[in-house]
Amino acid sequence: MSIASSQTDDSRHDAALEALRALLGDRLTTTLPMREAHGRDESWHHVVPPDAVAFATSTEEVAAIMRICARHHLPVIPYGTGTSLEGHLSALKGGLSLDLSRMDQVIRVNTSDLDVQVQAGVTRRALNHYLRDTGLFFPIDPGADASLGGMAATRASGTNAVRYGTMRENVLNLTAVMADGSIVRTAQRARKSSAGYDLTRLLVGSEGTLGIITELTLRLYGVPEAISSGSVSFDNFEGAINAVIETIQCGLPVARIEFLDEVQVDACNHYSHLSLPVSPLLLLEFHGTSNAVIEQAERFGEIAAAHGGGAFTWATKTEDRNQLWEARHNALYAALALKPGKKGMITDVCVPISRLADAIAETKTDLAASSITATMVGHVGDGNFHLIMLVDPASEAELAEAALLHDRLVGRALAMEGTCTGEHGIGEGKIKFMEAEHGAGLQVMRAIKQALDPLNILNPGKILPS
Amino acid sequence: MSIASSQTDDSRHDAALEALRALLGDRLTTTLPMREAHGRDESWHHVVPPDAVAFATSTEEVAAIMRICARHHLPVIPYGTGTSLEGHLSALKGGLSLDLSRMDQVIRVNTSDLDVQVQAGVTRRALNHYLRDTGLFFPIDPGADASLGGMAATRASGTNAVRYGTMRENVLNLTAVMADGSIVRTAQRARKSSAGYDLTRLLVGSEGTLGIITELTLRLYGVPEAISSGSVSFDNFEGAINAVIETIQCGLPVARIEFLDEVQVDACNHYSHLSLPVSPLLLLEFHGTSNAVIEQAERFGEIAAAHGGGAFTWATKTEDRNQLWEARHNALYAALALKPGKKGMITDVCVPISRLADAIAETKTDLAASSITATMVGHVGDGNFHLIMLVDPASEAELAEAALLHDRLVGRALAMEGTCTGEHGIGEGKIKFMEAEHGAGLQVMRAIKQALDPLNILNPGKILPS
């Protein structure tokens, strides 16, 4: 029996914080405001603040912190920008919030290889700002200006995924600190490899439960020669969704194809001072050569017209385009502004595209029969859509009604061979759906977690139901 | 202590075969020719035949076989078409070759979702033949007519990967039988998901060491409106490779861009009755709309000319195009025909594209100073190239000299942030490079293997050095 395991929890906890303070000095803090700030995300979840917050500045330091925490069995919850949505940051078993935001260095841009190596705390906007003179960009865009480490940890995607894929496809390798403090580089920088198990993809989407991502190498893309954006309104959502389905099925390489229902459009009009027709809307973006962009837009115009779409409104000027996408990015805040004081319970199902119209229709019917106000937005080119259900976190009845709608929506998505979460992750909030979605696969996930984090100190209580 | 664990190895082995025979009848065989046929691949490796061969016809039957083997600790080696290249099929610890070639059903084509569900034994050519009237195709093409289960297990790629990705990007989900006989469906059919650990990508590339892939859902693509192929010869390899590098760096979406050195071109001329100039060659293919294909080809023509390329020779007729790619696919057999009786020791490094010219130049220099005859071919758009070194498996000296060249080549690739294997996998043949390539990551892989296959009965002795 080790000395550590004969300690009480309290004394072990104190010893851990003492060792961390010796390592980090004033980069360890236990003040209530700082703890509360790190126990907050952008969701409706009641988040439990951690016992302390550490600010790390290097992979080696994260490893040293992890070794201390392992010795004292102190849970560690990695923190990027706090923009997650499923209670990922909640210190369910106490422990340390490990803030990586000071690891914000772009280490190396390899323009010739179209990749970049960054520390985990670099945000997607900071990266693209850094890249502005290179002719390259990183496309993954979940809306929030999240950290790239956090985006990898939740397997984020967003508006550009229909063209460029998700974090799954765009991380070439990553450096992670494992539960025992060992530092692992998951792969080389080559574009492809068959050398053993795919540790990169195992860590992408693992939400801090298998290792702490400290550095990443990401794929970059050339800034397209031409970009055009526009919007088209439809009389009803069926027309909009069927236009999307046909667009995807015919292989048109749209860069973005986003759906907003009439409730969301109305909210955006108010929040972002727009004057869009209050009816179902598709926002689109095309990337390519000047000719290709025109060809794509014309082809899409024909498809939209065939499904009852109105005139395509172009946003050719950069500022108009930015205003349109800024409004889309602020959809959550616009929705929240509909009912001040309420929080957003956000669903995130993703279904095969052939089932998308059915999934949305049944969901709309369900919603209409409830008392919940909700907007609908979607990365519909992927079959992924969100409800933002406005709930009062203090109202048990409202939470219960929204949760029931959510349960029914996930049940519907699973029956259509879809998933409970396309891009937000499981965290604490969707843990109840894991058994239904994965069946026997859940045991495989548990075995992996047990093997790589036997003390269960890496973001415990997330992803896997106990 | 269980009864099984008190048995001797021999009696356990006999009991396992007896139980398998009761389950499978004459679909279990122990005849020497059949065992030898299943202990053969297309490489130079001395492969150890299994003790018996089983032909499975369903996932449930694979599960029943696996449960028997687990009970009796009998190793299981999945078998598709026997076209692997690194001794993957060798029964290093005896055991059962589990032949999945009779699981050859296309289960469901979802044309609207651009995906298809197949049993693991369907080969890539059989699938594309099946799809011929749908307007869709499956692009991944490793040359050999491998089974799709085997291609997933080795994370195969090939000539089209530069445009369409590898098996990593093109498997939506798979069904696998785990070491305890449980059946796991790794994911739903949605295009993306953030629901827990990525078991799909964990099994892709695991070479039968973590589970037996029995079914897969694969992404499909629309057959391009226009396809054009062609070839261009260069005075020296530097020109050819620099043309490739510039093509990739400027984002030209070539569907294929293949390199053959002058030795390989000469071999192909003889084997495939062609009359290509005996000098370094690039073979290309462009996919897209009629306009896009012309635009791409013109742009590439300019790049090739700037790097000393000769005239671009078009293969516009389908039969000419097929002849060209057939010759490329037969490159291995063409190389082997240069020295009848010898076998091919095939290297498979992949480096970041910016290092490709250096990697090839240093390799050519190394080779010139040796007594080994070798051809060079490459999926150079990915930074991936092969040497086919012709060796006499009975000559210790020749094997040693080739192995030394291979070691030096891999060392060079790793120093350039590349990998020892872009697409062939580790098997038995590249196991010695795992430590150098993965360092601490190797311990993570071992922990996963131990967790998912504690008896070490799934293709033991592959991927992980003991």
Span A50-87, pLDDT tens digits: 999 999 999 999 999 999 999 999 999 999 999 999 99
Question: Do the Cβ atoms of B182 and A384 come within 8 Å?
Answer: no
Residues of B in contact with A156 (CB under 8 A): 194
Question: Do the Cβ atoms of B434 and A196 come within 8 Å?
Answer: yes
* Cα–Cα distances in angstroms (integers) from residue A35 to residues A79, A96, B138, B232, B265, in the given order: 12, 9, 51, 64, 66
Residue A1: per-residue pLDDT:
34
- Residue to mutate among A173, A193, A242, with most B CBs inside 10 A, is A193
Does residue A11 share a domain with residue A63?
yes
Of A197, A351, A447, the CB nearest to B206: A197
Averaged pLDDT for residues A97-123: 97
Give a yes or no: residue A268 inside a domain: yes
CATH code assigned at A123 = 3.30.465.10
CATH code assigned at B245 = 3.30.70.3450
Using the predicted structure, report yes or no on whether residue A3 has a pLDDT greater than 70: no
Of A182, A351, A450, the CB nearest to B190: A351
* Cα–Cα distances in angstroms (integers) from residue A365 to residues A308, A407, A408, A409, in the given order: 22, 15, 12, 11
Give a yes or no: residue B465 inside a domain: no
Least confident of A181-195, B41-55, B431-445: B41-55
Does residue A112 share a domain with residue A14?
no
Does residue A364 share a domain with residue A344?
yes
Total beta-carbon pairs less than 8 A apart between chain A and chain B: 276
Q: How far is CA A95 from the centre of its chain?
A: 24
Residue B207: per-residue pLDDT:
98
Give a yes or no: residue B247 inside a domain: yes
Question: Do the Cβ atoms of B421 and A452 come within 8 Å?
Answer: no
- Among A294, A328, A362, identify where a domain stops: A328
pLDDT digits (tens, 9 = 90+) for B101-160: 999 999 999 999 999 999 999 999 999 999 999 999 999 999 999 999 999 999 999 999
Residues of B in contact with A184 (CB under 8 A): 439-441, 444
Does residue B343 share a domain with residue B322?
no
Residue A394: per-residue pLDDT:
92
Does residue B319 share a domain with residue B237?
yes
Residue B8: per-residue pLDDT:
56
Q: Where are the alpha helices (DSSP H) in A7-120?
A: 9-24, 32-38, 59-71
Q: Which among A360, A462, A366, A359 has a CA at the least distance from the CA of A414? A: A359
Does residue A238 share a domain with residue A305?
yes
Domain that residue A36 falls in: 3-101
Residue B250: per-residue pLDDT:
87
Q: Where are the alpha helices (DSSP H) in A193-251?
A: 199-203, 237-249
Percent of chain B past pLDDT 90, that is, above it, reads 88
Of B192, B248, B440, the CB nearest to A157: B192
Report the amino acid identity of residue A250.
Answer: C
Does residue A256 share a domain with residue A195?
no
Contact B374, B406 (CB under 8 A): no
CA–CA separation, B257 vs B248, rounded Å?
Answer: 10
Which secondary structure element, helix H or strand E, spans residue A292, and what is its range? helix A290-306
Using the predicted structure, report yes or no on whether residue A46 has a pLDDT greater than 70: yes
CA distance B341 to chain A (A): 29
Does residue A414 share a domain with residue A379?
yes
CA–CA separation, A244 vs B298, rounded Å?
Answer: 32
CATH code assigned at B386 = 3.30.70.2740
Residues of B in contact with A161 (CB under 8 A): 192
CA dihedral sign of residues B431, B432, B438, B443 = positive
DSSP B49: P
Give a yes or no: residue B442 inside a domain: no
CA–CA separation, A419 vs A240, rounded Å?
Answer: 22
Give a yes or no: residue B333 inside a domain: no
CA–CA separation, B446 vs B463, rounded Å?
Answer: 10
- Among B222, B246, B266, identify where a domain stops: B222
pLDDT digits (tens, 9 = 90+) for A383-427: 999 999 999 999 999 999 999 999 999 999 999 999 999 999 999
CB neighbours (10 Å) of residue A8? 8
Question: Do the Cβ atoms of B445 and A197 come within 8 Å?
Answer: yes
pLDDT band at B220 (very low <50, low <70, confident <90, very high): very high
Does residue B201 share a domain with residue B166?
yes
- Residue to mutate among B191, B356, B446, with most A CBs inside 10 A, is B191
Question: Do the Cβ atoms of A195 and B433 come within 8 Å?
Answer: yes
Residue A45: per-residue pLDDT:
85
CATH code assigned at B30 = 3.30.43.10
CA distance A27 to chain B (A): 28
Q: How far is CA A251 from the centre of its chain?
A: 26
Does residue B110 share a domain with residue B208?
yes
Of B190, B441, B447, the CB nearest to A383: B190
CA–CA separation, B129 vs B133, rounded Å?
Answer: 9
CA distance A413 to chain B (A): 9
Of A194, A196, A450, the CB nearest to B445: A196
Give a yes or no: residue B298 inside a domain: yes
Residue B5: per-residue pLDDT:
41
- Among A222, A254, A282, identify where a domain stops: A222
Contact A162, A256 (CB under 8 A): yes
Question: Do the Cβ atoms of B195 and A421 come within 8 Å?
Answer: yes
Q: Which among A148, A46, A49 has a CA at the least distance from the CA of A91? A: A49
Closest A-chain CA to B176 = A441
DSSP B244: H
Question: Do the Cβ atoms of B447 and A451 come within 8 Å?
Answer: yes
Provide the mean pLDDT of chain B. 94
Residues of B in contact with A444 (CB under 8 A): 178, 184, 197, 199, 452
Least confident of A284-298, A450-464, B445-459: A284-298
pLDDT digits (tens, 9 = 90+) for A142-165: 999 999 999 999 999 999 999 999
ipTM, two decimals, is 0.96
Averaged pLDDT for residues A35-44: 87
Of B115, B194, B452, the CB nearest to A424: B194
Question: Do the Cβ atoms of A197 and B205 come within 8 Å?
Answer: yes
Does residue A110 share a domain with residue A96?
no
CA–CA separation, A437 vs B196, rounded Å?
Answer: 10
**Per the structure, how many domains does chain B have?**
4
Of A114, A155, A444, the CB nearest to B199: A444
CA distance B113 to chain A (A): 6
Closest B-chain CA to A114 = B249
Using the predicted structure, report yes or no on whether residue B249 has a pLDDT greater than 90: no
Give a yes or no: residue B271 inside a domain: yes
Does residue A400 share a domain with residue A419?
yes
Give a yes or no: residue B191 inside a domain: yes
Q: Which among A228, A255, A257, A256 has a CA at the least distance from the CA of A240? A: A257
